[in-house]
C-alpha cells in the first residue's frame, strides 16, 4: 500500500525546498533509495511543469569503483557528472545507506581522488552555488539502529521531523539572524570547551528547509585566523565510513594545532588533506525541536536542539571567510544539561544556556514554541 506521507514529502521537496518553476530542469540523485519516493518526485515535478532527470546509485557500487579508481578515471567521472549538473536549475539528493561504514576500507588516497575530481567540482563548485538544492536521508533499518529505535518508530520520527512547519521556523529564526549579523565576538563554554572567535561582517544564513531536510540552524563562519582556544565535541561522527568519538581540537590563530579522538591517526589524515582542512569554515547553532539525540547522521545531528557545530574545512560561498578545502566536516557539540550544559555568548552577552535560548528575542526558537 502506498504511504501518503511519501507524497507529502515530495510536495515539500519540489514545491517548498526547490520552489520548482515551469520549464526548470531538476536532477534527482537517489543513492540506495527505493523507487517509491523517486517516482513520486517525478510525478510532482511533472505537475509543476518541470523537467526531471535521475541518477540512481549504490554506495556498494561506488565503493567498488573507488577501490580500483585511477586519477584519470575519477577526473573523467567528474567531468561527465559536471556536464549534466551545469544544465540543472534544481537538485534533490536522497541518500539512503544500509551500511554507514560501507566506505571504511577505501584507502585515503582513493578517497582524495574522489573528493578532488568528482565531489568538489560537481557538488561544491556547481550544485551548491548554482542550483536550488535540497538533500535528505531515506529511512532504513540501519538508521533506526543508529537511533536505537525500531524501524517503525524511526519512520514515524523521520516523517514528523521532515514535514515540520518550516515556514513557522523560518519566521522564528529571523531575530537570531539579525543578532548574529550584529555580533563581533562569539564565546563557547562547555565541558572541555572554552573557545572564542569573531564573526564580524560575515553573513548569518538561516536554514529553514530550503537546502536540508530536516533543517533548523543558522550558520555563519569565523574570521579565518580568529579562532582561539579548545573545543571538545561530545557527539559521535562518521566521516568516510570511520566513526570518531571525543574529537578535541586546540586552536592558535585560527589553525588546529593539536587534535585527538578515538582514532587520532585517521583524524590527522583528514586534517592533513590540505591546508584549509585545519581551519574552520562554518559555525552554526542548531534548534530543531524534534531532533534531540545523535544518530551518527550529520543531516540530523547538526540540527539537534541545544547544539552547535564548528566545521573544519571549506566555507560556504554565502558566508565566506575565504577558507578553501576539499573537506567540510560538521562536528557537533551538544550543550544540554545531561551533558554538562554550556553557554553561548555574543559580545559577552549570554544568548543560550544549557541548550535553551535566554535572550528575549530568541525564545520563539525554544522547542516548546516551535512545536506548540
List the chain domain ranges: 4-162, 167-371
Q: How far apart are CA 187 and CA 360, in angstroms?
A: 19
pLDDT tens per residue, the chain (372 residues)? 688 999 999 999 999 999 999 999 999 999 999 899 999 999 999 999 999 999 999 999 999 999 999 999 999 999 999 999 999 999 999 998 888 788 989 998 999 999 999 999 999 999 999 999 999 989 988 888 888 889 999 999 999 898 888 889 999 999 999 999 999 999 999 999 999 999 999 999 999 999 889 999 999 999 999 999 999 999 999 998 899 999 999 999 999 999 999 999 999 999 999 999 999 999 999 999 999 999 888 889 999 999 999 999 999 999 999 999 999 999 999 999 999 999 999 999 999 999 999 999 999 999 999 986
**4: which DSSP letter?**
H
pTM (two decimals): 0.80
Q: Taking a C-beta distance cutoff of 8 angstroms, is the pair 370, 286 a contact?
A: no
What is the per-residue DSSP string for 21-33? -TT-EEEEEEES-
- In CATH, the number for domain 4-162 is 3.40.1830.10
Q: Taking a C-beta distance cutoff of 8 angstroms, is the pair 206, 218 a contact?
A: yes
**232: which DSSP letter?**
E
Of 108, 106, 82, the closest CA to residue 27 belongs to 82
Q: At what angle do helices 151-162 and 4-11 cross, to 10 degrees?
A: 30
Q: How far apart are CA 232 and CA 190, in angstroms?
A: 8
Q: How far apart are CA 132 and CA 47, in angstroms?
A: 18
Q: Taking a C-beta distance cutoff of 8 angstroms, is the pair 316, 128 a contact?
A: yes
Grid cell in block for residue 331: 562536528
What are the CA-CA distances from residue 311 to residues 16, 90, 222, 303 (Å)?
27, 26, 10, 14
Amino acid at each position: 500500500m502506498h504511504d501518503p506521507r511519501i507524497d507529502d514529502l515530495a510536495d515539500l521537496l519540489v514545491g517548498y525546498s526547490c520552489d520548482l518553476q515551469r520549464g526548470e530542469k531538476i536532477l534527482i540523485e537517489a543513492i540506495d533509495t527505493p523507487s517509491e519516493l523517486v517516482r513520486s518526485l517525478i510525478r510532482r515535478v511533472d505537475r509543476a511543469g518541470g523537467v526531471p532527470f535521475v541518477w540512481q546509485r549504490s554506495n556498494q557500487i561506488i565503493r567498488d569503483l573507488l577501490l580500483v579508481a585511477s586519477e584519470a578515471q575519477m577526473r573523467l567521472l567528474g567531468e561527465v557528472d559536471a556536464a549534466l549538473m551545469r544544465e540543472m536549475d534544481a537538485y534533490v539528493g536522497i541518500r539512503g545507506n544500509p551500511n554507514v561504514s560501507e566506505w571504511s576500507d577505501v584507502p585515503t588516497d582513493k578517497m582524495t581522488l574522489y573528493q578532488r575530481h568528482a565531489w568538489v567540482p560537481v557538488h561544491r563548485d556547481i550544485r551548491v552555488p548554482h542550483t536550488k538544492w535540497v538533500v535528505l536521508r531515506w529511512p532504513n533499518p540501519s538508521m533506526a539502529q543508529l537511533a536505537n529505535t525500531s524501524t517503525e518508530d524511526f519512520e514515524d520520527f523521520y516523517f514528523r521531523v521532515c514535514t515540520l512547519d518550516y515556514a513557522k521556523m523560518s519566521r522564528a529564526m529571523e531575530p537570531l539572524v539579525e543578532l548574529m549579523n550584529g555580533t563581533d565576538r562569539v564565546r563557547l563554554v562547555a565541558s572541555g570547551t572554552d573557545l572564542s572567535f569573531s564573526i564580524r561582517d560575515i553573513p548569518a544564513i538561516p536554514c529553514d528547509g530550503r537546502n536540508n531536510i530536516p533543517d533548523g540552524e543558522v550558520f555563519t563562519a569565523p574570521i579565518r585566523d580568529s579562532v582561539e582556544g579548545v573545543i571538545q565535541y561530545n557527539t559521535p561522527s562518521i566521516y568516510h565510513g570511520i566513526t570518531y568519538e571525543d574529537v578535541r581540537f586546540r586552536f592558535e590563530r585560527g589553525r588546529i594545532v593539536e587534535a585527538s579522538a578515538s582514532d587520532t591517526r585517521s583524524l590527522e589524515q583528514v586534517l592533513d588533506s590540505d591546508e584549509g582542512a585545519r581551519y574552520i569554515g562554518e559555525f552554526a547553532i542548531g534548534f530543531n525541536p524534534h531532533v534531540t539525540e545523535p544518530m551518527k547522521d550529520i543531516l540530523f545531528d547538526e540540527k539537534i536542539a541545544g547544539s552547535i557545530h564548528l566545521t573544519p574545512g571549506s566555507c560556504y560561498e554565502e558566508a565566506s571567510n575565504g577558507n578553501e578545502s576539499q573537506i567540510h566536516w560538521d562536528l557537533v557539540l551538544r550543550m544540554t544539561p545531561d551533558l554538562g550544559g554550556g553557554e553561548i555568548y555574543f559580545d559577552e552577552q549570554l544568548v543560550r544556556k544549557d541548550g535553551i535560548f535566554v535572550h528575549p528575542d530568541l525564545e520563539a526558537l525554544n522547542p516548546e514554541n516551535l512545536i506548540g
